Structure 1
Amino acid sequence: MEIATPDQIRSPVEVAPRALTLFAVVAVGLGADREEIIPWLRENDLFEELSPMEAQFIEDPEPSERQITNASWYSERLIALLWALDLASMPPADERCDTSLLQDILPPYAEVNERDFIKSAKLRSGEELIAMVDQILNLHWEARDARIHDRPPRNVDLGIIQERHHAINWVIGYDGLPWDEVTTDT
C-alpha cells in the first residue's frame, strides 16, 4: 500500500481497498454477521487494510451501541469513496445514501470479484475531486455555522456532510493523515 504525502491525492489502489474494508464495517454496523465478514476480509487480504478503530470494532463480539451507530453512519463515508471512484453519484447533502446501492456496486455481492474491483479502480480527475472537496467544505461550514447560530441549515445535514467530508479529505491526502486521524476542519 502506498503512503500518501500531505495533500497528495491517493491512488485508486489505495481508495478501492479502503472502500471494500469500509463496506465490511458498514455491513457489521447494519447487522451483518461478523463471523462471515472477518473470514471474507482475511480471504481477500483486506483485514490488514482495516484502520485500528475499524479492526477493534470488527473483532469486538459485543460493540457498544455508539460503535454500532457510528459504523452505520460510515455509509456516508463510503458513498463519498464510491463517488471518488466514479462508481456512484453523490446524494444531496441532506439525504442519507441508499445503502442497498452498495451491494450493487461492491463485492462480494456485485458481479465483480475483489481483486478485479481493486485492479480496475479509477479515480475521478483531480479537478473533480478538488471541486467536491470545496463543495463539501462549504456545506460543512454552512451546517456548523447554522448550529452555532441556532438556526436550521439549508439543504444540508451536519451528520451526513461531516462523514462525507472525512472521506473526501482522506482521498485528497489532506495533511497526509491516516484514515482514523483525518480532520474535517471548516
Structure 2
Amino acid sequence: MGKRDDAIRAKTPILASVTIPDRDEAPMVYGDQPVRKQWAESVLYAQGVPINPHLPMIESEAQITLRTPREIADRLRAVSIIAARGSGLPLADARRFIDERGIDPHLTPAERAFLDTPEPTMRDQIQFSWRHEAAWVLLWALRHVEGQLGAPRETCDVDAMTDIIINVPDLGRDGVRSANDILNEADLVYRYHWAIRQAGIDGQAPPADLDPGVVLERHYALNWLIGYGGNADWDDVTTDT
C-alpha cells in the first residue's frame, strides 16, 4: 500500500503480507539487524503491541544510503505546504509560500496535480492533510525534534512544526540523524504497521491505542529516508509489511 485512502481514515487497515525468501536464497545478515529487531520487539512487548516473530529484519546500516540534509529539507517544505493545503490553507496562500521559498521544483507529480486542482475532493484533502505526520518524521530526521518519535498514538504538533519551517532558513543546518537512529524507527514502525493491519484482518481495533494514520505516514517517510524500494521517488514509496 503506497497511498492513504478512506479506509485508512476510517481506521480500517489493509491486508498484511510477509515476503519469505526462497529456500535456496541465503541473504547476508549484518550484526546490527538482529539486534535492531530484538530491540524493536522489546519496545512493542512493553507497550502491549502484538509481535510477529516471523517478520523479516529490515535493512542494515551497511545496505542503505540516507537522503541528504538538502534532499530532506526540500522534501519537508514541499510536504508541509501540500499538507497545509489539504488542511484548508487557501490556494493563493499556498502558491505564495511556494514561490517565496522556491519549492515548486521539489513538488512531486501527485503534489502538483493536487495543487493544480482549485476544488479538490474531500478524499484528496484528507489524504494530503495526513502528510503532516510524514513531515514530522522529516523534521525529526533533521534534528529539530528531540529524542525518539515515540509511540504513534497521537498526531504531531502542526503549529510547532510550521513555526520551525517558516522561521528556520536552513532546515538542514544540523545534518541528519544517524543511520542507526533512523533504522531503529523504521524497524519499529514496520512492526507497528503489521500489528495494525493484522488487527484489521482479525476484525479488531488497533492495539495499544495506535493511530493507523500516524503509523502509515511515519512508515512512508522513514522508508523514503532509507531509500526503501530501490531509492523510490516520494510518490512511489511503499509500506510493505
User: Quick check: TM above 0.5?
Assistant: yes
The answer as to whether partners of 2:153 and 2:210 remain within 8 angstroms in 1 is: yes
TM-score (normalizing by structure 1): 0.88
1:45 match: 102
Q: Percent identity?
A: 34
Structure 2 residue 74 is matched with structure 1 residue 17: yes
Partner residue of 2:124 out of 34, 56, 67: 67
Aligned: 1:161 with 2:218? no
Encode CA deviations 1:4-39: one digit per residue, 9 max, x unaligned: xx9421111100110011111011111112212213
Q: Unpaired segments of 5 or more residues in structure 2? A: 1-62
* Residue 85 of structure 1, aligned match among 105, 117, 142: 142
Residues 154 and 211 in structure 2, CA contact (< 8 A), matched pair in contact too: yes
- Matched-pair contact (CA < 8 Å) for 2:142–2:171: no
Q: How does 1:1-186 map to 2 (within 5 A)?
A: 7-89=64-146, 90-107=149-166, 110=167, 112-113=168-169, 116-118=170-172, 120-152=173-205, 153-175=207-229, 176-186=231-241
Query: Shift of the alpha carbon at 1:104?
Result: 2.4
1:91/1:97 contact within 8 Å kept:
no
Q: How many residues of Structure 1 are paired with residues of Structure 2 in the alignment? A: 175
Distance 1:184 1:155, change over 3 A: same
Q: CA deviation at 1:154?
A: 2.0
Q: Secondary structure at the match of 1:106?
A: helix
Q: Which has the larger radius of gyration?
A: 2
Q: Distance in 2 between matches of 1:62 and 1:97?
A: 26
Distance 1:39 1:121 in 2: 27
The one-character-per-residue Cα deviations of 1:152-177 (angstroms, maximum 9, x if unpaired) are: 22232222101110011001111210
- Preserved contact between residue 140 and residue 162 of structure 1 (Cα < 8 Å): yes
Post-superposition offset of 1:91 = 4.8
Please tell me the residue identity of whatever aligns with 2:157.
D
- Structure 1 segments of 4 or more deviating over 6 A? none
Q: Which residue in the other structure is 1:3 paired with?
A: none
Contact 2:196 2:212 in 1 (8 A): yes
CA 1:121 to 1:47, structure 2 compared with 1: closer, same or farther past 3 Å? farther
What TM-score results when the alignment is normalised by the length of structure 2?
Answer: 0.69
Q: Distance in 2 between matches of 1:40 and 1:159?
A: 26
Q: Return the alpha-carbon distance in structure 1 between the equivalents of residues 180 and 197 of structure 2.
A: 26
Shift, 1:88, TM fit? 1.7
Task: State the one-letter code of the partner of 1:150.
Answer: G
Q: Name the CA distance, whole Å, in 2 between partners of 1:162 and 1:70.
A: 11
For residues 139 and 49 of structure 1, what CA distance do their matches in structure 2 show? Answer: 30
Letter in 2 for 1:57: F
Change (3 A) 1:185 1:88: same
Note closer, same or farther for the CA distance 1:161–1:92 as it changes in structure 2 (3 Å cut). Answer: same
